[in-house]
Amino acid sequence: THLQDATPVTLGQEFSAYAAQAKNGLRRIRETLPDLLALAQGGTAVGTGVNTAKGFDVAFAEKIAQQTALPFVTAPNKFEALATHDAITFSHGAINAFATGLYKIACDIRLMGCGPRAGLAELRLPENEPGSSIMPGKVNPTQVEAITMLCARIFGNQQTISFSSSQGHLELNVMKPVIAFAMLESIDLLASGVDSFITRCVNGIEADEANIKRFLERSLMLVTALAPKIGYDAASKIARAAHKNGTSLKQEALASGKVTEAEFDAIVRPEKMLAPNE
């Protein structure tokens, strides 16, 4: 946390957060779809329906629904449907939220895979192509970088849609073309980008178990398990002493006289720090 050492989590727990984030993001997008199914057709110029036959709007929506197999309906208020595009703005907001989560996930994966010797190197990312043109053997996380650039484009489309949606002066928003363009581009980018990211990156990720074990064994934050027994301040002093002296937590804990070796071994067990105390 805060890019500083914290208590341990498993890779499974870490990736469960990513899976839940993606699942919730998709749910939020789906929840915006009903509002997109209300059609303005039949409102004609300003929403009054002038120059149309009565019932045209309903018949049009029914025909579109039949041809697309989607539950399109006529908008209950044509004035609102012509002058505003709030439904698209709201829906793209959910797409944008998904992209922000995807950006975070990609950056986490890149951070955990940085190295191989001067970084965390907890993950081994797929080597899809040669990397640096000047540094032999260097392989770059190109799929992660691609997905972050894709997300940046979606962030930009969100701003375009938000501004354009605000330009519904009086009875008509004339910026629908750029709204539609940005919306469709974001949908296409997200769909194709996520598919590529999963296929060419996520499915090929491997854990560097030896490196993870090394980090775990050297972690000073395992001292958190001692806090309930010896108190926060005493545990903090042990961690700071171990860091300053280049010693282990166990050495400093025993030197402090706060716990015995048997007590330390029974309490400081990473596998018991992965869930609430029983």
For strands 123-124 and 206-207, give the pairing: antiparallel
Catalytic residue among 91, 92, 132, 133: 132
State the chain's maximal CA–CA distance in angstroms: 91
- Quick one: CA dihedral 263, 265, 271, 274, positive or negative? positive
Does 133 qualify as catalytic in the annotation?
no
34-to-30, 39, 91, 98, 277 alpha-carbon distances in Å: 8, 11, 10, 18, 44
Does 196 qualify as catalytic in the annotation?
no
10 Å CB burial of residue 36 (0-12, 13-18, 19+) is middle
15-to-10, 205, 217 alpha-carbon distances in Å: 9, 11, 21
Report the catalytic residues. 2, 132
